[in-house]
Amino acid sequence: MSQSILPTIMSGNNRHIVLFGRTGSGKTSIFDQLVGEDRLEAEVKVGVSNAKFNPIVGRCRLGHAGEVTVIDTAGLDDVNELGSEQAQRTRNIIRRADIALYVINIQEFDRDARAALQRADAWMRRNMVPYLQVFNRCDEAYAGDIAKLKLEFPDAIFISTHTPGSVSLLRTRLSQMVRALAEKENPLVPEKLIQKGDYVLMLVPDSGLIHEYEIMMELMRRGARCVIINEDDLEVTLQEVPRIDLVVAYARSFGKVRDIVPEDIPLTSYSLLYGLQGGVLEDFIEGAHAIGTLTKDSHVLIAVGDRKSEIYKEIGRIKIPRAMRRLIGEELQIDYSFGLDLPENLNQYDMVIHDTDARMSVRSVRAHVAICKEAGVPIANYGTILASLAGILDRCKQALLPEEQESE
């Protein structure tokens, strides 16, 4: 599969379930049964039915949990396998998954396979991917062995693709897992940020609402009253409207807005709200603090999802580099990466700044945060960097993550 197909299959709002595991464990057999029964669309068969090098994608309906995307990957004998492009690609797919299935051939569950499972387990936890251990080929195993393993791995599922009905057990389990994900999801507007009847001032550009619309609708659903204005009208509106409980601005206008909006009115941005929803805002805030450690010899990477996006052209290309060089030194080296994958050589950077692209799924953003954490490189997004450059990072943090809430 060419790299360019990956973004297509890995974006979109469907939940993604990835099958991975050692060679011959039965991933493709499980994939065929999950997808085959209720196939809604033929998979992207680029390498023609060969998952050796190409992930294969299909869709499957999981009862109440709705439609999910299922991805079959090539055998990966050890999740920590280095050096191979295929292993790297598989890891990147797993990192973006909502749920991963680690498929184990129960017949070959020897010491070596156990050690591989432990490494996979540690890796999955580090990358924050919910996963399920699937012991396959149980038709060939002794009942006593299965019973022992069930005690040892109480959360695992034991199936066989050769036994009719076995995969429906897996479907049921997956459906539960998918529904549990939805329950854990953060709301787009945090519970305590606004109350019914609050007045929210929303700054929007002349070009009209696009992603702001989603936040506005969420505010309205929660009973807030939204006043939508152009940035130039901020000062006069603040005087005319008797009460404002929240201001949602563009992070790029923080520099202007911070002096106009009184300190006691919470101030935030669209990108900060999206970061909070994705569960990565705290990481981004921590990453943005690293600005204070940069010197003129530092090396910064701006990771951009879509090089054609207006936000990148305005913020990533011009505004942030200019402001950072003014602060740190003209010599500050800034590189760019494009697309869904971060470059391999992350270690050489002192900081990664993540593009705010609403088309990039929460899954991808989380994966990037996990990858940077693993590499020990601070990662921020446009919103937190712009807040930091405007000197209001703490103020923005206080609005969305007030101290007293953290201990709850």
Under 8 Å between Cβ of 267 and 318 = no
Q: Which of these ranges, 155-163, 206-214, 267-275, 293-301, lies near ligand GTP under the rule CB under 6 A?
A: 155-163
Q: What does residue 31 show for φ and ψ, rounded to 5 degrees?
A: -55, -50
26 is a contact residue toward ligand GTP (CB under 6 A): yes
The verdict on 54 binding ligand GTP (CB under 6 A) reads no
Q: What is the smallest separation between the CB atom of 178 and Mg ion, expressed in angstroms?
A: 23
Site for ligand GTP contains 23 (CB under 6 A):
yes
Asked if 27 interacts with ligand GTP (CB under 6 A), we say yes
- Distance (Å, rounded) from C-alpha 54 to C-alpha 280? 30
Q: Contact between 24 and ligand GTP (CB under 6 A)?
A: yes
Q: Does 51 bind Mg ion (CB under 5 A)?
A: yes
- When the beta carbons of 28 and 105 are compared against Mg ion, the nearer one is 28
The entry of ligand GTP, Mg ion, none near residue 139 (CB within 5 to 8 angstroms by kind) is: ligand GTP
Kindly give the residue spans of alpha helices, DSSP state H, lying in 222-361.
234-240, 254-260, 270-277, 281-289, 310-311, 320-328
Q: Which does 140 bind (CB under 5 to 8 A by kind): Mg ion, ligand GTP, none?
A: ligand GTP
Q: Which stretch binds ligand GTP (CB under 6 A): 22-30, 150-158, 180-188, 368-376?
A: 22-30
- Residue 310's binding partner out of Mg ion, ligand GTP, none, with CB under 5 to 8 Å set by partner kind: none
**How many degrees, rounded to 5, is the angle at CA 346 between CA 311 and CA 276?**
50
The one among 41, 108, 140, 185 contacting ligand GTP by CB under 6 A: 140
Q: Which stretch binds Mg ion (CB under 5 A): 20-28, 150-158, 213-221, 372-380?
A: 20-28
Of Mg ion, ligand GTP, none, which one does residue 160 interact with (CB within 5 to 8 Å by kind)?
Answer: ligand GTP
The residue type found at 272 is L
Output the smallest distance, CB 392 to Mg ion, in A.
51
DSSP 8-state symbol, 316: I
What's the distance, CA 225 to chain centroid?
30
Q: Report the C-alpha gap between 338 and 144 in whole angstroms.
A: 52
C-alpha–C-alpha distance, residues 344 and 371, integer Å: 10
CB-neighbour burial class of residue 225 (10 A; exposed 0-12, middle 13-18, buried 19+): middle
Check residue 45 for interaction with ligand GTP (CB under 6 A): no
Q: Which is nearer to ligand GTP, 48 or 184 (CB)?
A: 48
* Position with the least CB separation from ligand GTP: 75
Residue nearest to Mg ion (CB): 28
Of residues 66-95, which lie at the interface with ligand GTP (CB under 6 A)? 74-75
Q: How many angstroms separate the first and last alpha carbons of the chain?
A: 46
Phi, psi torsion values for 70, nearest 5 degrees:
-115, 135
Work out whether strand 225-229 and strand 199-203 pair parallel, antiparallel, or are unpaired. Answer: parallel
